Structure 1
Amino acid sequence: MNEDQKLIVPETSLLKYKNPVRVSRKSTKSDDKDLGSFDPRKLCEMQSTESILASIMPPRRLEIKGDLFIQEVSSTPASRAEVVQLTKQLNQQLEARGAKMTGICPVRRELFSQVFDELIRQLTIHCAERGLLLLRVRNEVQTTISALQSIYASGVVFGLQKSLAREADRNHQTSRVAELGAEIANLEKRIKTEVLNCKALEEKEANRLAAATRRAEEDVNFLRKGHEQLKNQLKDVLNQFKIVNE
């Protein structure tokens, strides 16, 4: 932690701490170095309950008006009344902070994590081995939750990608439908135009055929009249020829 960095801690915690103690920054740096090189497998070798508590639950730091304070976890055993009070405080915090009673809720998880740490503290004071075993349980639960969060995050990303892909495909299909609609409208317009042209052509051809038929009939009538005239003339000539021969 940088010297100028302030550690933000909750004003109230369900984990019981001692009174804050002002310390120098040099001693804090050395404590950080010792804690950073600590091996959890050596917990059982410690004789002092306070040293075990300090190792599994490091003290929190507060900076007040430029002075640095350290607040260690309390090593005082909890009475039955304090356990009852812890339950009341938990319920009050859940209600005050608007924690959800069902589903995923970071506030509820934070408060129950504090209660879990307090139970570990109480058990460690009475029996270090029980406390360490419960600590392993807590760490395993946290590991499982972290893994589930990672899976959930991956699922959310995958779902978002699928949603974006579906949205892109839907937009493409919508655009394609609009294009096809415009093409259909254009084809319908062309069909109407061709139908009108076809009707006009049929009417034109019908008129032309009617005119040709009339002309043909007139020609036939003219030829028929000419034929009758020639036939009559031929009869007259033949009649005159007979008269002359007689």
Structure 2
Amino acid sequence: MEDTQRNTSGKFQSLVRFNNPVLVTKHPERKSDIDVKRIQTAGVLLDAKRETEDILNAVLPPRCWEENGQIWQQTVSSIPATRQDVINLQELLDTRLQQTQARETGICPIRRELYGQCFDEIIRQVTINCSERGLLLLRVRDEIDMSMEAYETLYCSSVAFGMRKALQAHEEKEMLRERVAVLQGEKEELEEVITDMKIKNEQMERRNNELRQAEEKKFAEEVTFLKKTNAQLKAQLEGITAPKK
């Protein structure tokens, strides 16, 4: 089967058409220190004038994995795609979107992964017919991936910034609540002081009024006494100074 591919997730195969897996290395015992990643990324940038398979391997690197002490490698297919293959790809994409229950709108990693595989398959088909066009599509794909990574980084940064601002606002809110409680306590204490001072002021005014009334009464009595005494002395004086007949 020309489109057979090993799927490490165990659910669905990739939308990219791959060749049959090829055994690269066989070990008598399974070892955990096999550098599979180095095998996947081995090689240098290939020139657009190379053969189709070399260009395909540069555009879509071979897949490598280890299973039962053996290293397998799978390269993309170099068989040109027909019109029916494109129709099948579209139908398979719709089927996978339904099977994986991908979201139709909004952010969905599953939908993004499936459309990425579909784009890779289109790049494979185009590269077989025109390597230059395929390399140009590869640049477009890489630019989209970089933009998505930049958006993800910006999103994570904005979320972290929002969380920091929310925590800061929460802390400031708690500080303001504590400050309000302190000011409320001070206000109540000042109100109690004002109430005590009002009571003392009323008592002092009442006492002053009583003292003033007592003083006024005393002064009035003294004035009356002095007037009476003055009248008596005046009468005596007039009696003494009056000419005798």
For residue 115 of structure 1, give the secondary structure of its aligned residue in structure 2: helix
Are 1:38 and 2:43 an aligned pair?
yes
Q: CA deviation at 1:34?
A: 6.7
C-alpha separation in 2, matches of 1:167 and 1:25: 60
SS of equivalent to 1:43:
coil
Q: Does 1:183 align with 2:196?
A: no
Q: What secondary structure, in the 3-state scheme, does the structure 2 residue paired with 1:144 have?
A: helix
- 1:206 to 2:209 alignment: yes
Q: Which residue matches 1:196?
A: 199
| TM-aligned CA distance change 1:33 to 1:180, over 3 Å | closer
- Aligned residue pairs, count: 232
TM-score (norm 2): 0.75
Number of the residue aligned with 1:11: 11
Write out aligned runs for 1:91-130 (5 A). Answer: 91-130=94-133
- TM-score normalised to structure 1 length: 0.75
Matches within 5 A, 1:153-164: 153-164=156-167
Look up the SS of the partner of 2:48 in the other structure. Answer: helix
* Structure-2 change in CA distance of 1:35 and 1:68 (3 Å): closer
Deviations 1:45-89 (A, max 9, x none): 422x33332232222234445544333322333333332222222
Structure 2: segments with no counterpart, 5+ residues: 1-6, 28-33
Q: 8 Å contact 1:9–1:62 — kept in the other structure? A: no
For the structure 1 residues 11 and 127, does the alpha-carbon distance in structure 2 shift closer, same or farther, using more than 3 Å as the test?
farther
* Cα distance change on mapping 1:30 and 1:76 into 2, 3 Å: farther
- Higher relative helix content: 1
Q: How does 1:6-85 map to 2 (within 5 A)?
A: 8-9=8-9, 11-12=11-12, 13-24=14-25, 36-40=41-45, 42-47=46-51, 49-65=52-68, 67-85=70-88
Report deviation, 1:24: 1.9
What's the % identity of the aligned pairs? 37
On the 8 A contact 1:35/1:55 being kept in 2, the answer is: no
1:85-104 deviation per Cα after TM superposition (whole angstroms, max 9, x unaligned): 22222223223333233333
Tell me how large the CA RMSD over aligned residues is: 3.3
Gapped runs of 5+ residues in structure 1?
1-6
Q: Distance in 1 between matches of 2:98 and 2:106?
A: 16
Q: Which residue of 1 aligns with 2:135?
A: 132
Would you say the 8 A contact 1:124–1:130 is kept in 2?
A: yes
Q: CA deviation at 1:14?
A: 1.4
Q: Give, in whole Å, the separation in 1 of the partners of 2:123 and 2:240.
A: 151
SS at match of 1:38: coil
Task: Check 1:86–1:67 CA distance in 2 against 1; reply closer, same or farther (3 A cut).
Answer: same
Q: Distance in 1 between matches of 2:64 and 2:50?
A: 24
Q: CA deviation at 1:114?
A: 0.6
